Structure 1
Amino acid sequence: MIDNNYTTADEAVKCIKPGNRVFIHGSAATPVCLVRAMQKRHHELYDVELVSITTLGEVNFNRPEHRKSFYFNSLFVSAATRAVANSEDGDYVPIFLSQIPQLFRRNILTIDVALIQVSPPDAHGYCSLGTSVDVARAAVQMAKHIIAQVNPLMPRTHGDGYVHISQINALVWHSAELPEVDYSTDVSDAVKKIGYNVASLIEDGATLQLGIGSIPDQVLFNLTTHKNLGLHTEMFSDGVMPLIERGIINNSQKKLNTGHSVTSFITGTRKLYDFVNDNPGIRVMDISYVNDTSIIRQNPKVAAINSAIEIDLTGQICSDSIGTYQYSGIGGQMDFIHGASLSEGGKPIIALPSQTNKGISRIVPFLKEGAGVVTTRGHVHWVVTEYGMVDLFGKSLKQRAQALIEIAHPNHREMLENSFFRRFEKA
């Protein structure tokens, strides 16, 4: 660290002006100290639009005094932004994760200031975007002013995430542990069974894409006897580490990035962050590449594993909202579901518990009023619950409904059968 090149967070964020649009680096790379410094200026700021995907760490966007100054336009709603995104002081942009960089690069959303978190510069002056290259690379390329939290605990990752210090307008040295997420705790019997069911669909030599949560980690737990698996996924979590270390994931069968695991952002525990640090076997790349359907389809036997909030009897998938309440976002589900369907031997998979923790069926006659359809019934193939697996591809509306009823929770099958009769069998 060269002290003369660094300033304080409070000093760095003075460049933010009323009416600016500010990008916030997301996930484990959320620059908490910069966000807090910006929030401290709320009394002198107004009409500042914040854009980001998932944010983690101790940042609160739901304070009344902040709402008067900041408008949060979320590109993917997370716990930290959910309340604001569903209020008059925020909103949500429905968009495929793969296309968010287009918003920046085409100046549809011009970025005045980008708040990012990076590793310390190397001997050549290059920092790394570390755990989250995703949409941040495009934001950095297009931002008029870049403020970087330089954190020695941020792993230096290989791939697309290098940023030279000459591109950065203000450097703030701040050492802080990255936010950690552990999906392996408190796993229900239903999730364990789902993980087993999904794993049984995956063949040797498959290329894996896994979404967020406990189900993907349980799938990985059940792949220990598989061989020559590849990894091309938007998100990378702790569950892949044992499979890489044991050579089960070796990426030997992939057509693109052979021998390398590819991801766009990394979220997990400190053990994972240390694992990816300076690891040439892992490439963290721009989301417009990782989630590009034309890229995904080139790898063999792509198994895309994603989840849902609910699915109706025709196969429509809602995975971003509960009725009109925006819960998360479109993300990369459609990017990979469609990409996997075009891959030779690919399997697009939607995996979900048959009912909620409150005993409400996730397989429903109709989606809730106002719910968003993320994956259309024309794109859905495999659906997996703890009660079984069905492939809806090529099935008629009636056949789909009957198949989904078979894997619904037994407590709800009679209700679903009655709905089926009213819809399809009435004279």
Structure 2
Amino acid sequence: MPDAMPPRAVPAPNLDFRDFVRPGDFVVLGQSCAEPVTLTQRLLADRADLGGITCFIGIPAGETVKPEHADHIRFVSYCGTGSNRALAAAGALEVYPGHYSTLPEFVSRADVVLVQCAPPDARGCYSLGLADDYLTAAIDSARVVVAEVNDQVPVTPGARHLTDRDIDIVIRTSRPVAESPAAPPTPETTAIGAFVASIVPDGATLQFGIGSVPEAVLGALGVRNDLGIHSGILTDAAVELIDKGVVTNVRKTTDRGVSVAAVLIGTRRLFEHVHRNPAVSLRPITYTHDPERLAAQHRFVAINSAVEVDLTGQVNAEVAGGRYVGAVGGGGEFLRAAARSNGGLPIIALPSTAGSRSRIVDRLSGPVSIARSDAGIVVTEFGIADLRGLPLTERRERMLAIAHPDQRDVLRAMASNW
């Protein structure tokens, strides 16, 4: 087989998307800290000349994409987090309401993929470095792959490595990777973290979502021993547990000794930790969200948050105040896996209120992201409600007990019979 032709190298200022993007194309971008910011900015600058395209965007780390960019681009995302909220509020974001595990199939229709990579090693391999998740599926199906090769991207073990055969166009940059620092804890999230930590056993394998509540939970787990990580994301708070020796991964059923995630969301501390670290593995969604692999983990503990939970255990993780702010994500999939795992814990944790509004409700104000048939353990700053194996009347009593005290009488009076 002849050697692959090297990708076309283009100086960043000379990149013209009109050379390879066709009207109607579906363009997929790396998400969060893996966003190829230089490429995104250039694409947005060229948008009026591209004949109308659709862009799939994930969790934003910054505010590169703004509502005004929707004049010539149709934006689609699985989430309304971060600056995507402004897009949604402006009616400029279409939502894909599928489970996270279905994203590889959804993005496999990609025509063009924009990724950020580390420089090639001696074998000519470019590490995706900051995210594999759904990018592998998009890369394998796209007509054109454009890589921003940034010498500040870490080389992460397990991450998809591209070669010249995979890349059509390269631009080279040297810029700090987009960071996504965690929000500071509040008294409420600190209390929630302590409650959740009190039921997490030594040797558990953790999955955790994005946001202040899962971060607070990780921050409270410093007294545990031999925890493992198999999660959609890896964060600074997880690195803190690794550095303290709390996370060792020695009791995991699979990938023993290794923390597994699909995307890195954090700061330079995280990026430096994963660089050439054999105790970390960045994998695609088909691996991180595989239901059999998850359920097989000993003591698999899923920790996710929500917008609101009703008195029967139904979860709305997507819409608040009529606006799309969250995602279906992988919460339901992880909860089901934790319920099947030997010693597993399916946990939804959230503050009891948002301002004066109760987040423990009689009826959801948004969609049912997770059915009550998948309900497990719900935690607020007022305690723990284990709903597993309970009929509706007993579920209501346990949920009322963890609602804000000022809301309990109103909720009890409103409580439905179903």
Contact 1:74 1:93 in 2 (8 A): yes
Cα separation, 2, equivalents of 1:153 and 1:164: 19
The change in CA–CA distance for 1:88 and 1:244 in structure 2 (over 3 A counts) is: closer
Cα separation, 1, equivalents of 2:142 and 2:8: 24
Match of 1:290 in 2: 288
Cα separation, 1, equivalents of 2:403 and 2:146: 50
Flag structure 2 segments of 5+ consecutive residues without an equivalent.
Answer: 1-5
Contact 1:382 1:390 in 2 (8 A): yes
Cα separation, 2, equivalents of 1:75 and 1:416: 32
SS at match of 2:400: helix
- CA deviation vs aligned residue, 1:93-146 (integer Å, no higher than 9, x gap): 1111111112244xxxx2111011111111111111111111111111111100
Give how far 1:169 is off. Answer: 0.5
Q: Of the candidates 72, 81, 89, which is equivalent to residue 84 of structure 2? A: 81
Give how far 1:73 is off. Answer: 1.5
SS at match of 2:136: helix
Contact 2:97 2:328 in 1 (8 A): yes
Match of 1:123 in 2: 122
Contact 1:323 1:372 in 2 (8 A): no
Match of 1:30 in 2: 35
Provide the TM-score with structure 2 as the length reference. 0.94
SS at match of 2:123: coil
Q: Of the candidates 19, 29, 52, which is equivalent to residue 47 of structure 1? A: 52
Match of 1:235 in 2: 233
Give how far 1:86 is off. Answer: 5.2
Contact 2:7 2:169 in 1 (8 A): no
Q: Of the candidates 392, 403, 418, which is equivalent to residue 413 of structure 2? A: 418
Residues 1:366 and 2:371 aligned together:
no
Cα separation, 1, equivalents of 2:294 and 2:25: 36
Query: 1:123-272, aligned counterparts within 5 Å?
Result: 123-183=122-182, 185=184, 187-272=185-270
- CA deviation vs aligned residue, 1:11-35 (integer Å, no higher than 9, x gap): 2523112211111111101111111
SS at match of 1:148: strand
Match of 2:301 in 1: 303
Cα separation, 2, equivalents of 1:4 and 1:47: 25
Give how far 1:87 is off. Answer: 5.0
- CA deviation vs aligned residue, 1:319-368 (integer Å, no higher than 9, x gap): 11125422121111112111111100100000000111x12110011111
Flag structure 1 segments of 5+ consecutive residues without an equivalent.
Answer: none
Q: Which moved more, 1:277-286 or 1:14-23?
A: 14-23
Cα separation, 2, equivalents of 1:177 and 1:418: 54
The change in CA–CA distance for 1:180 and 1:160 in structure 2 (over 3 A counts) is: closer
**Match of 2:29, as an amino acid?**
I
The change in CA–CA distance for 1:153 and 1:200 in structure 2 (over 3 A counts) is: same
Contact 2:118 2:127 in 1 (8 A): yes
- CA RMSD in angstroms, aligned pairs only: 1.9
Match of 1:70 in 2: 73
The change in CA–CA distance for 1:289 and 1:141 in structure 2 (over 3 A counts) is: same
* Identity of matched residues, %: 33
The change in CA–CA distance for 1:402 and 1:9 in structure 2 (over 3 A counts) is: farther
Give how far 1:302 is off. Answer: 0.8
Provide the TM-score with structure 1 as the length reference. 0.92
**Match of 1:80, as an amino acid?**
S
**Match of 2:103, as an amino acid?**
I
Cα separation, 2, equivalents of 1:354 and 1:88: 29
Match of 2:12 in 1: 8
Q: Which moved more, 1:50-59 or 1:345-354?
A: 50-59
Contact 2:17 2:50 in 1 (8 A): no
Give how far 1:294 is off. Answer: 1.1
Q: Of the candidates 347, 352, 356, which is equivalent to residue 354 of structure 1? A: 352
Cα separation, 2, equivalents of 1:114 and 1:295: 28
Cα separation, 2, equivalents of 1:274 and 1:267: 13
Match of 1:100 in 2: 103
Contact 1:78 1:327 in 2 (8 A): yes
Give how far 1:309 is off. Answer: 0.4
